[in-house]
Amino acid sequence: MSKVNIALRVNGDVYELAVDPWRTLVEVLRDDLNLTGTKVGCQTGDCGACTVMLDGRTVTSCLTLAVEADGREVTTIEGIAPSGEELHPIQKAFVERGAVQCGYCTPGMIMSSKHLLEINPTPTEQEIRRGLSGNLCRCTGYNKIVEAVGEASRTMRSTDKEG
Amino acid sequence: MSMCKYPDYKFIGQSAPRVDAPSKVTGSAVYAGDIKLPGMLHGKLLRSPVPHARIKSIDVSQAVALPGVKAVITGKDTPCIKYGNWRLVPQSQDELPLAVDKVRFIGDEVAAVVAVDEETAEEAVHLIRVDYEELPAVYDVDAALAQGAPLIHDEVDLSGNISLDRKIDVGDVETALAGADYVREDFFTVHAVSHAYLEPCACVAEADAEGRITLWTSTQTPYIVQCLLASTLGIPENHVRVIKPTVGGGFGGKMELRPWEFCAAFLARKTGRPVRFQLTRAEELATGRRRHPMKIRSKIGFKKDGTIVAKDFEVYLDGGAYNSMGPTATFLCGNFGAMLYRFPNYRYRGYHVYTNKPPAGAMRGFGAPQALFAGESQMNMAAGELGLDPIDLRIQNAMVSGDEIPGVATISSCGFIESLQKVAEMTDWRDKRKNPAPNKGLGVGCYSFISGGVFNWFNTIYNFTAAEVRAYDDGTLHLLTMASDIGQGSDTVLRQILAEELGVSVERIRITSADTAMTPKADLGTWGSRVTLMAGNAVVQAAQRIKEQLVGTVSARFNLNVIHEIAFGGDRVFSKARPDRGMTFGEAVAMAVKARRGEEIVGRGYYTPRDRGLVSPAFSFGAQVAEVEVDPKTGLIKVEKMTTAHDCGTVINPMSVEGQLEGSVHMGLGYALCEQFVMRDGQTLNTTFLDYKIPAAEDMPPGESFCVDTYEPDGPFGAKEAGEGLVSPTAPAIADAVWHATGYRCLDLPITPEKVLAGIAARDGGD
């Protein structure tokens, strides 16, 4: 089967690639673009470790073909901190609230949290748990992750007001 | 959460964020599967599709011929050296990296392929033809022990399929039970569950021109992998360097040499190119290590007033096809059976049994979740029959500091009774237990756990752990240790310990850990909750040796009287009596270096538990109460709250301890209610997270916890175990709460809605 030419816009940068049509988005991100922050935990869309944003909505990149992302905007964990010296408020809250243990679920958790706070800036605890229900974690028991998302929600709102 | 406060400490007791958290939230942390080296090849394993068979022949010709394939190996191409973690008992080392004559479970590794990419390697694996002569197979302990059962390891001289046993005899159990006022005997079965660490195993091996190996691998035990990889390759240990990159969880499942590590190293030497193996989740769930299923018989005798007189504990461990860490689990079950309460007479018989299933190995709790599900459920049942409150019965029999299991363990710090009292108070236990709301119940379970092991089953000649501290004139430190942070936070905690001991701030400490070529020998790895206590003690000793090298300089510089004590704090070194007489830590290092004409300041510390019995230098304790509501129409159990009071000694990092507790509740909840392997004729049928269900964020109950204040004399700054034992009380507590709500007592995990409905029906039928 011949390769397909695609253009991906990833974290603001445009990549023109020739990919096998059966290759998944996460494979292309990790293997071709060396963006290894996105993790593969199951390859079946169940664990959420590979969650990225595609045109502003979260997808499991292990179940998304790279060709489906052609011409679209992809945001990965590498693309959300404002700079190398500053973290996004969600990232900061994850660090400070002890929401990170082994860290393997963390990139996907943060992407799902980011999407949640974009569509619902003031989620209740239950809404946060629902918003993260597609992301499995084996270390934390989720509580500190839920607290971190709540904390980030408060920080982001107060920053918005000041701005 | 209420937490202990330590006014005397600056870094101990602080909820310091994880050292590695920033790299993990930005995606820059490098896990084994993220490593890419120039020219790297990709490997895949061929696994046995049958549970028990002789290998008659293997034809790899078609695989070798596939374009892109660089090498194909079978067992016969390798040195065929058996390995296993119990080096102390060589006949227990029963695994080969690739099967040679026989396969023993569905998933047993038979051949390996390396190719230019994963897809080609996968395709080549399917082109290998293996001719098997199938043998009868056994899938549970009863079948494996039956007369005429097929012998799974017929190459060694065993009596049947029992690979090893352990006996403990304290006192005279028969006489004590004969004289008891109340005796009960119960039978329990517990099931296998997966570690389900989120990071599937991966490794990359590189060989230098002289054949020395560097292996980056997802492991909890770099030293064990180094030694066993060297022995299976037939090369010196020093020619193997194992580097643990960031690891995505382990929970006991990554603490052995694994076939893909051997194959990556062997094939890197053979091809002259780096080789990567990446497992899939389906491989992990279908063939990976798991927690031991067990059949347990427990007989216990009491006096009328509730005092325990004896316990007779018999355990059959379903070990699967190889020993793995089964010997340790068999050993430890006997210890956990004797923990928590005073058993003046105790007998244990543990049998590790081979079956044609994926091997069981170490998993969080290491025998405790099984032994304590039985032991704690039995205490709850006995309390009911004796007409006593289960918490009162426990307090009456509880271990206290100074208690001893002769020749086995001595209890030093112990906050068990305080934990029981506290959890009762936090949950309003007495009122709720007497007056439950309809369909609601609450139940209790307790645990005790080890802070690392004393028994040298790996048969190392080195200290169990080691640390090196290098001090620099810019006021910074470099801590080097083989201790492995696999997500539990040891890099962070060891930094806090070093900061406290030397009075140097945590940001000034760089840490290099778990690289066998760079860090002092040795460390047995992350398991058995050993790292904080053992590596922590080594770090304290290394820091003290730094101090010894600096105090003379400071004393001379300020002309201090010989009895003046020197203090380290606030990045300074100074006289305790005259704090103005001192200098910065960096200045002290510079002066000491100059005084020694350029020799750097290095301190090393070691720790090996000695004169601490057979089990562990320290034991943690705790009590947990589960509150549930059961839907009588569906049998569905909703856990409404988990409350825990525990004794883990000094809490070095409260946020980390809470995180361990919450993670334990998650894993305990899965064990109790929803996680299980569905097996048919040795085949694991549920190999995705859709079908193997671990609790998600919405499944977690709210929790409350309390740390009982104790000080462990054998631990660094009084600390001991905090992350593993806590997984044990959850299942018996939930089972007890379900009984309290419904009258149904589950003796065979997991507690599924079907069992609850059948139990309710039996109750109603019996009325």
A71-107 tens-digit pLDDT: 999 999 999 999 999 999 999 999 999 999 999 999 9
In angstroms, the CA B75 to CA B82 distance is: 11
Contact present, B764 and B744 (Cβ < 8 Å):
no
pLDDT of residue B662 exceeding 60, the answer is: yes
- Mean pLDDT of all residues in B115-137: 98
| B248 touching A (Cβ < 8 Å) | yes
What pLDDT does residue B157 have?
85
**In Å, how far are B266, B280, B744 from B213, measured between CA atoms?**
9, 24, 57
pLDDT (tens digit per residue) in A128-158: 999 999 999 999 999 999 999 999 999 999 8
In angstroms, the CA B404 to CA B28 distance is: 49
What pLDDT does residue B723 have?
83
- Provide the 10 A C-beta neighbour count for residue B713: 12
First to last CA, chain A: 52
Question: pLDDT > 90: what percent of chain B?
Answer: 95
What pLDDT does residue B561 have?
86
Chain A residues with CB under 8 Å of B664 CB are 141
Question: What is the 3-class SS of B168-188, one letter each residue?
Answer: EEECCHHHHHHCCCEEEEEEE
What pLDDT does residue A163 have?
52
Among A34, A44, A106, whose Cβ lies nearest the Cβ of B689? A44
Here the tokens at position A105 are 């679920």
Beta-carbon contacts of B596 under 8 Å, excluding residues fewer than 6 positions away, are: none
- pLDDT category, B1, cuts 50, 70, 90? very low
pLDDT (tens digit per residue) in B466-475: 999 999 999 9
Contact present, B287 and B361 (Cβ < 8 Å):
no
What is the ipTM metric for this complex? 0.98
Residue B489 falls in which region: left (phi positive, over 0), alpha (psi -120 to 50) or beta: left
Contact present, B200 and B278 (Cβ < 8 Å):
yes
- Provide the 10 A C-beta neighbour count for residue B75: 19
Contact present, B471 and B482 (Cβ < 8 Å):
no
Beta-ladder partners of B757 = none
**In Å, how far are B227, B618, B721 from A47, measured between CA atoms?**
34, 37, 30
Contact yes or no for A136 and B696 at CB 8 A: yes
Here the tokens at position B594 are 């100059």
Among A37, A95, A128, whose Cβ lies nearest the Cβ of B28? A37
Here the tokens at position A64 are 């998304």
CA distance A162 to chain B (A): 25
| B659 touching A (Cβ < 8 Å) | yes
Beta-carbon contacts of A10 under 8 Å, excluding residues fewer than 6 positions away, are: A29, A33, A35, A74, A75, A76, A79
What pLDDT does residue B204 have?
99
Chain B residues with CB under 8 Å of A46 CB are 688-690
Residue A64 falls in which region: left (phi positive, over 0), alpha (psi -120 to 50) or beta: beta
pLDDT of residue B293 exceeding 60, the answer is: yes
In angstroms, the CA B628 to CA B197 distance is: 27
Specify the pairing of strand B41-47 against strand B275-278. Answer: parallel
pLDDT (tens digit per residue) in B663-685: 999 999 999 999 999 999 999 99
- Mean pLDDT of all residues in B213-236: 98
Beta-carbon contacts of B90 under 8 Å, excluding residues fewer than 6 positions away, are: none
Taking the whole predicted model, whether its pTM rises above 0.90 is answered as: yes
| B15 touching A (Cβ < 8 Å) | yes
- Mean pLDDT of all residues in B738-753: 98
Beta-carbon contacts of B606 under 8 Å, excluding residues fewer than 6 positions away, are: B463, B465, B466, B467, B520, B538, B541
What pLDDT does residue B562 have?
84
**In Å, how far are B408, B570, B633 from B176, measured between CA atoms?**
21, 59, 45
pLDDT of residue B208 exceeding 50, the answer is: yes
What pLDDT does residue B593 have?
98
Which residue of chain B is at minimal alpha-carbon distance from A134? B696
3-class DSSP assignment, residue A9: strand
What pLDDT does residue B3 have?
44
CA distance A35 to chain B (A): 8
pLDDT (tens digit per residue) in A44-61: 999 999 999 999 999 999
Return the DSSP state at B237. G
Which residue has 């350029």 as its token pair?
B598
- Provide the 10 A C-beta neighbour count for residue A112: 24
pLDDT (tens digit per residue) in B573-614: 999 999 999 999 999 999 999 999 999 999 999 999 998 888
Quick one: how far is CA B525 from the chain centroid? 10
pLDDT (tens digit per residue) in B540-560: 999 999 999 999 999 999 999
pLDDT of residue B4 exceeding 60, the answer is: no
What pLDDT does residue B613 have?
86
